[in-house]
Amino acid sequence: MRVAFAYIGAEVLGIEILSAQLKQRGHEVQLFYDPSLFDDKAIFSMPSLHRIFDIRPRMIEDLVAFNPDIVGFSVLTNTYQWSLEVAEIVKRRLGVPIIFGGVHPTVVPELVIKRPEVDIINLGEGYESFPELVSAIERGQDYHNIRNLWVKDGDTIIRNEIRPTFHDLDALPYPDKALFGEYLDVGSIYLMITGIGCPYRCTFCSNDLLMDLYDGKGRYIRRRSVDDVIAELVQAKAKYRLRMVKFVDDIFTLNMRWLEEFAERYPREVGVPYYALSHPDHINDKSARLLKASGCHRLELGVQSVNEETKRVILDRPETKEQMAKAFACLEKHGIHYLINHMFGIPTEGEAQQREAARFYADFRPSRIGSYYLKYLPRTRIADIAAEQGLIGLQDIREFEQGYFATVHSTENIDRDLLRVFKNHETLNLLMPLLPRWINRRLANSRIVTAFHWVPSFVRTLLDVFGAAVHNDHETRLFALYYFKMAFKVIGIKMGLNDRLGMRDPMPE
């Protein structure tokens, strides 16, 4: 069978794993990728530039020419509208089954399955349900009762139960990197996951809803063996000329025994610098030492707010300022670059809480303070909190459920006076990693910051890029290089110089 995946803007491990499973079963799989430059549904939203570089119609023509038997979409809330628009055209022209999976269909299935473009949705994990569906279609068998799927049968919607979590992650094939490797240099930053699940129930995160979905369905937090992780990386190192690895686990340092074995083997058998994500509660002197010994180049920490009342009452996060301070100090002691994620727009937070954060950050040396704006993801508890406080209304909630918001930097639903405060501190957050601590401490208590909202957005972007260069931020540099290369390819296609978007023969670095 021919299986097509359509996606926008970034590499996705979930699609790569499904592709590997399908190819093991003899199916032909093809990815149709829309770079959607300057409207990537995550970082940039520049409509005038996007119109120049838009090649989605070409992508759709290529997909139709492939003539698949089924088309799959992995859907986030911010990519939902793009997915619907592509699915509508494909459905009209090919008439083949369209399946939506991913977080968004999982949290609002009753809205997604009503769409005429969508025939099937996959709730939760698809490691077993999607290959089972494809095999059933190939054999001409009934697929309406496959667990994890909601399926249309005429005017009826069949809602099947959720199967238990998939426990043996080592049994999954290695991701099919060739799928996105057609368009991206997957060796420049090799995306990898060693475990699934997060133990925290942050109110702004869909993980809270997934934990409810899988309640009573088996172990939610699962991890691959170190053996399996190292084996994949050794193979990938030989095949893709790895320069950096990025582990996208929610909390890489969750299991100390696992980390000890990893730290002993990774430098010797792989030896490539890596990025990872963690949580302040799971960073201490021992874990920081193991991260450094294993070759961690940078650690990303979700902080969101330093105000303990906000964390406890609004975000449902347990860590204290003392715990955050200890985590930062341990990382600095062992020479690990770290990035702090700071969130603007949290209900109840204003000038006082941003000043508190600035004073706290001024005592440390993060390589970057990444600022972004709260997005009310569908059915999250923080959306309920905001609605109770009158910050958002029913129409806003409906728009969020339909995926109508732009990027992590867009500022919907924020009061104008508050927005000035947030822009002041967004600029300060960009400056602090570049300045000495004594200047940061003065700025954190200075009225000068109240004028920083006048700094133009392009200057903030330049500060971000300059900071990335100063701190040797490989990821930001490669993101800029990716945009340049992809823009070059798109221009070539539009001028008739290239007939394909693929990056298999990229421009020399």
Q: Are 200 and 147 in contact (CB under 8 A)?
A: no
Task: Return the bridge partners of 98, or none.
Answer: 71
Nearest to 460 by CA among 433, 435, 423: 423
Instruction: Evaluate whether residue 435 is within a structural domain.
Output: yes
Kindly state whether residue 181 falls inside one of the protein's structural domains: no
**Same domain, yes or no, for 140 and 283?**
no
Model pLDDT, residue 502: 63
SS3 for 19-45, per residue?
HHHHHHCCCEEEEEEECCCCECCCCCE
Question: 131 and 230: one domain?
Answer: no
Same domain, 143 and 222: no
What's the CATH number where 87 sits? Answer: 3.40.50.280
Q: How many whole angstroms separate alpha carbon 443 and alpha carbon 424?
A: 11
Task: Give yes or no for a contact between 244 and 275, defined as CB atoms under 8 angstroms apart.
Answer: yes
Per the CB < 8 A criterion, the answer to whether 362 and 372 are in contact is no
Tell me the β-bridge partners of 278: 301
**Which amino acid belongs to residue 481?**
L
Determine the pLDDT at residue 63.
97
Closest CA to 316 of 199, 444, 414: 199
pLDDT at 411: 81
Question: Does residue 422 contact residue 457 with C-beta atoms inside 8 Å?
Answer: no
- Asked if residue 133 and residue 263 are part of one domain, the reply reads no
Interacting residues of 125 by C-beta distance below 8 A, sequence separation 6+: 148, 165, 166
Measured distance CA(291)–CA(253) in Å, rounded:
9
Residues 240 and 375 in one domain: yes
The predicted-structure confidence for 192-236, as pLDDT tens digits, reads as follows 999 999 999 999 999 999 999 999 999 999 999 999 999 999 999
Q: What is the pLDDT of residue 504?
A: 45
Residues 145, 256 within the same domain: no
pLDDT at 38: 87
Collapsing DSSP to helix, strand or coil, 155 comes out as coil
Q: What is the Cα–Cα distance from 8 to 355, expressed in whole angstroms?
A: 37
Residue pair 202/385 in contact by the 8 Å Cβ criterion? no
103 within a domain of the structure (yes/no): yes
Output the pLDDT for position 449. 96
Residue 480: predicted pLDDT: 81
Give the per-residue pLDDT at 509.
Answer: 31
Rounded to the nearest 10°, the torsion over CA 316, 319, 324, 330 is -130
> Is 480 contained in some domain?
no
User: Per the domain annotation, does 180 fall within a domain?
Assistant: no
Domain harbouring 361, CATH code = 3.80.30.20
In the predicted model, residues of the chain with pLDDT beneath 50 are 503-509
User: For position 507, what pLDDT does the model report?
Assistant: 30
Domain count, the chain: 2
Does residue 200 share a domain with residue 146? no
Per-residue HEC secondary structure of 381-442 comes to HHHHHHHHCCCCCHHHHHHHHCCCCCCCCCCCCCCHHHHHHHHHHHHHHHHHHHCCHHHHHH
- Stated pTM of the model: 0.94
Residue 176, classed as helix, strand or coil, is coil
Identify whether residues 145 and 251 lie together within a single domain: no
Sequence-distant (6+) residues with CB within 8 A of 456 are: none
Domain enclosing residue 44, as ranges: 2-159
Is residue 121 situated within a structural domain?
A: yes
